[in-house]
Amino acid sequence: MRAKKNFLLVKNQRIEQNERLSEKAKARLGKSKADNTLKAYCADWSDFSDWCRYHGERDLPARPETIVNYLNDLADDAKANTVARRVTAISENHMAAGYTGKNNPAKDALVRTAMEAIRREKGTFQQGKAPILMETLYVLADCFGDDIVSLRDRALIFLGFAGAFRRSELVAIQVEHLTFTTQGLVILVPQSKSDQLGRGTEIAVPYAPDPEVCAVRAVRAWLQAADIHTGPLFRPFTRSHTLRDSQLTDKSVALIVKKYAALAGFNPASFAGHSLRRGFATSAAQHDVDALTIMRQTRHHSEKMVHRYIEQGNIFKENPLNKMFKK
């Protein structure tokens, strides 16, 4: 209970207690962070708060030494990037409570030094899930049946790859967001993780020369079979295979990907919903697509992650052993 009471990012005191702000302004300011971000910060803060309660320390405001001791305990089992995210959550919650600038203990030099030591010791490399590459799509294509569930799953996997969609973006697609043209399919993404201001963007998916792995044809076949004209594109089924009106959850994307990875003979534990997006970027790099062109499809705002995909895609292609073997 204490963790929830002291988690102030939902009810920011600096906003709630500001008499000069209108109720409309307060409501809008309360939506400055995405729901998923708030959930993650809440979970991180709860862990810190529980640790403080167990050790008899104060969580808000916390002492820099308290944060450092917590981080070092956390680092025994957690990755460096996880530890860094906890620092961000602690810092954001202190700012919401009015502890800004030098008064924010998470910004203290002692905490920064502790994080540098943890990063140096543990490293920051993250082992991601296996990508579903272009050639993997052909293997998966043999695993789909002709039933309506398979038609949905085929459309979801092929479109997820072709549009480099995040799980949340993929399940949020509405039929009204689709525009079929003679060249392919245009999908409107009203808002996403990298577009918190809701400017929206359009993703183009051309017809594939090979119908076997064509996302556009797969979506058309699914819409026709399911007789969907409005609302969510990808929907769950009841046990009797009756189509529901609601949209799939983002967790369902991971389950569907794992299902067909297993049917294709892969280890399902190595795959997740992100395998589609990662697979597109890695495959594009293998086909010599430049970083900026990849970013237009993936909607990445930073080249850092895209260059990581490019490096992974070229790990064999540009391997010095290739030239050595030829000689």
Tokens of 103: 């008064």
Judge whether 166 counts as a catalytic residue: yes
Tokens of 323: 């030239």
Asked if the peptide bond before residue 61 counts as cis, ω within 30 degrees of 0, the response is yes
What does the DSSP 8-state code read for residue 200?
Answer: -
Residue in this structure with the two tokens 């909607």, named with its chain if needed = 299
Judge whether 274 counts as a catalytic residue: yes
| Rounded Cα–Cα distance for residues 78 and 183 (Å) | 47
What does the DSSP 8-state code read for residue 203?
Answer: E
Judge whether 241 counts as a catalytic residue: no
Catalytic residue among 129, 277, 278, 299: 277
Catalytic residue among 193, 199, 287, 301: 193
Tokens of 249: 């959850």
Catalytic residue among 152, 274, 278, 299: 274
Tell me which amino acid residue 46 is: S
| Rounded Cα–Cα distance for residues 305 and 292 (Å) | 12
Catalytic residue among 152, 154, 166, 217: 166
| Rounded Cα–Cα distance for residues 138 and 253 (Å) | 19
- DSSP codes of every residue in 113-144: HHHHHHHHHH------PPP--HHHHHHHHTT-
Largest Cα span, the chain:
77
Judge whether 300 counts as a catalytic residue: yes
Bridge partner residues of 180 (DSSP): 185
Angular region, 70: left φ>0, alpha ψ -120 to 50, beta rest: alpha
Active site residues: 166, 193, 274, 277, 300, 309
